[in-house]
Amino acid sequence: MLKKILFFVFALWGAFSPLAYSGEGFIIPLEIVDSSENGDSDPKSPPQLLLTQFDNVLILSPSHTGLILQIRDDTGIVYSISIPSTTSQIVLPSTLAGHFELRLVTNSYYYLGFIKL
């Protein structure tokens, strides 16, 4: 629980910190969360993923292997899309506005971050 609270605090700090500013975009801090039932999904660590936000456009590092993007609020998933490994730019609907939890989901883990649109 403490780990999640600390991650949330650092994610908010990172999202609004001038150090997280990259050109005209913001680097979104991502935590890797194991979603397998036994907590031991893969003996090797998942690759780090770089995600940058430019308004309603997200730019992924080109090294991902295909993900599902989920945008969530207090009620659940408000937007979801499959991202093929050949895609590195995602344009989110302009109708999304506010603070959201972002998940980039794979088979046995997901990347967790927070965004403001």
Going from N- to C-terminal start, the domains of the chain cover 2-116
- What's the pLDDT at 37? 61
- Alpha-carbon distances, residue 95 vs 10, 91, 114, 117 (angstroms): 27, 12, 17, 9
pLDDT at residue 22 above 90? no
| Contacts of 50 by beta carbon, 8 Å cutoff, 6+ apart | 27, 60, 61
Could you give the percent of the chain with pLDDT greater than 70? 72
Give the separation between CA 26 and CA 22, rounded to whole angstroms: 6
**Mean pLDDT over all residues of the chain?**
79
CATH code that applies to domain 2-116: 2.60.40.3080
- What's the pLDDT at 29? 87
The pLDDT tens digits of the residues spanning 37-78 come to 655 555 567 788 889 999 899 999 877 788 999 999 999 999
